[in-house]
Amino acid sequence: MSDSQVRTIYGMLSFKHRSKVLKQLRKTASPELHGHQIWQSCYMIMEYLEQHPPAEQTNILEIGCGWGMLGIYCAKNFNAQVTLTDADANVFPYAHAHADLNQAQVSTKHLAFSEIGESELKDKQILIGSDICFWPEIVKPLQALLTRAIQSGVKKILIADPGRHPFLRLAEYFVTEHNAKLLSWTLDNGTKNHGKILLIETGNAPA
């Protein structure tokens, strides 16, 4: 595919907004919950995982996946078994298009945070999410979900955000109650965009 249609960042291919593929997708699927682009915070977790790569075949759950680039990155680079979840089913055609573009395999489930229960969490080693805590009303269900993930045996949780107040409220709770870490992060991709990564590790977390 020509350079006019796709861009490459962190070794991942993504469709440009004016690409023919995205134009066609917009005719049939219109995301409703801000799932209309790839958000910068996902690149913070990509950089983190470059420095702390998970083991091969790690079972990973991405929540609030949007176009799913973070989960697709894990599937492509670490041969991870990835499940993408989102409350907006209209994002999945975009996620599948990007998975195909990057020759990666992922599965998808249409689930809001409150609907992700033990059956989805029990076999996952890592939970990831980026730019998912942007409204105050999201804090409570997301806090409940991450607590369920800890109780279900998820070993590592990574949530990235530019540093919005709802996210910082969420992070404060887990730093206080679960000895989580709040990492400051500046992207090393020339943009110098910065934000925070909430890192929660329980037990013997995978690398």
List pLDDT tens digits, range 29-70. Answer: 878 766 677 888 999 999 999 999 999 999 999 999 999 999
Measured between alpha carbons, how far is 111 from 33 in angstroms, rounded to an integer?
13
Measured between alpha carbons, how far is 129 from 61 in angstroms, rounded to an integer?
9
Do residues 64 and 113 touch, judged by C-beta distance below 8 A? yes
> pLDDT-derived band of residue 3, with 50, 70 and 90 as boundaries?
low
Mean pLDDT computed over every residue of the chain: 93
Measured between alpha carbons, how far is 86 from 147 in angstroms, rounded to an integer?
18
pLDDT of residue 207: 44
pLDDT of residue 1: 61
Encode pLDDT of 109-149 as tens digits. 999 999 999 999 999 999 999 999 999 999 999 999 999 99
Contacts of 7 (CB under 8 A, 6+ apart): 13, 14, 16
Sequence spans of domains, the chain: 6-201
Helical residues (DSSP H) of the chain, grouped into ranges: 20-28, 41-51, 69-78, 92-101, 118-121, 139-151, 165-178
> pLDDT-derived band of residue 74, with 50, 70 and 90 as boundaries?
very high
Measured between alpha carbons, how far is 84 from 86 in angstroms, rounded to an integer?
7
Mean pLDDT to the nearest integer, 158-175: 98
Task: Supply the CATH classification number for the domain 6-201.
Answer: 3.40.50.150
